[in-house]
């Protein structure tokens, strides 16, 4: 394992970097070493253990793509916790669809504020009506998500070193194999 987990100053995982990059950041005084691997490296006059987890000393604000949540079926379902916004039940993706709260025929747009997760049954029941016309209330008003729910570190948790786990469990999407 020659990889180092880079944390923000807030201890939030940012990304995985090669240990040489980690050493460079450390030499530049930008990070502190939080945990080390067992493996040692020998330089000319010093021996040190490979950094396993490092933390930025100055907080960096994550901009870029994380601010923008693509308007997609998957993200709508995720925003609504796979819960039909009319009957309030959680459904498998195969039984979910999305619903225009204000139907297109009534001027409803296809955007975060007008699209909700809906089960097939409720979708059929509501038809081309507004929630008011159909007498169906929404669980909560649909909104544009502020940011993506989690920064996804592209490494399987099974492969992650023990020293990373405390940090990864904070906001990495876990495999759905829990009992």
Which positions lie near Zn ion, rule CB under 5 A?
84, 86-87, 119, 122
Report the nearest approach of Zn ion to the CB of residue 102 (Å). Answer: 18
Report the nearest approach of Zn ion to the CB of residue 78 (Å). Answer: 17
Q: Is the CB of 23 or the CB of 119 nearer to Zn ion?
A: 119
Q: Is the CB of 128 or the CB of 169 nearer to Zn ion?
A: 128
d(CA 100, CA 114): 6
Report the nearest approach of Zn ion to the CB of residue 88 (Å). Answer: 7
Cα atoms found within 13 Å of the Cα of residue 89, Cβ hemisphere only: 10
CA–centroid distance for 51 within its chain: 25
Q: What Å distances lie between residue 164 and 144, 146, 168, CA to CA? A: 32, 27, 6
Q: Is the CB of 84 or the CB of 160 nearer to Zn ion?
A: 84
Start-end of H helices in the chain: 19-27, 73-79, 120-126, 131-134, 162-171
Report the nearest approach of Zn ion to the CB of residue 74 (Å). Answer: 19
For 134, phi then psi, to 5°, come to -85, -10
Report the nearest approach of Zn ion to the CB of residue 123 (Å). Answer: 8
The 10 Å CB-count burial string (b at 16+, else e) for 83-111 is bbbbeeeebeeeebbbbbbebeeeebeee
Q: Is the CB of 21 or the CB of 125 nearer to Zn ion?
A: 125
Token pair belonging to 31:
């990070």
Q: Is the CB of 115 or the CB of 119 nearer to Zn ion?
A: 119
């Amino acid at each position: 394992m020659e990889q180092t987990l880079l944390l923000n100053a807030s201890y939030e995982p940012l990304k995985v970097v090669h240990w040489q990059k980690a050493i460079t950041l450390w030499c530049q005084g930008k990070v502190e070493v939080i945990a080390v691997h067992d493996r040692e490296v020998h330089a000319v006059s010093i021996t040190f253990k490979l950094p396993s987890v490092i933390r930025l000393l100055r907080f960096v604000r994550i901009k870029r793509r994380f601010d923008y949540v693509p308007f997609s079926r998957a993200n709508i379902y995720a925003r609504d916790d796979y819960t039909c916004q009319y009957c309030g039940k959680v459904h498998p993706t195969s039984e979910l669809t999305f619903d225009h709260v204000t139907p297109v025929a009534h001027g409803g747009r296809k955007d975060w504020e007008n699209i909700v997760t809906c089960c097939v049954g409720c979708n059929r029941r509501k038809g081309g009506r507004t929630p008011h016309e159909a007498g169906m209330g929404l669980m909560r008003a649909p909104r544009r998500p502020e940011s993506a729910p989690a920064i996804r570190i592209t490494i399987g948790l099974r492969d992650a070193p023990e020293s990373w786990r405390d940090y990864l469990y904070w906001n990495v999407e876990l495999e759905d194999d829990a009992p």
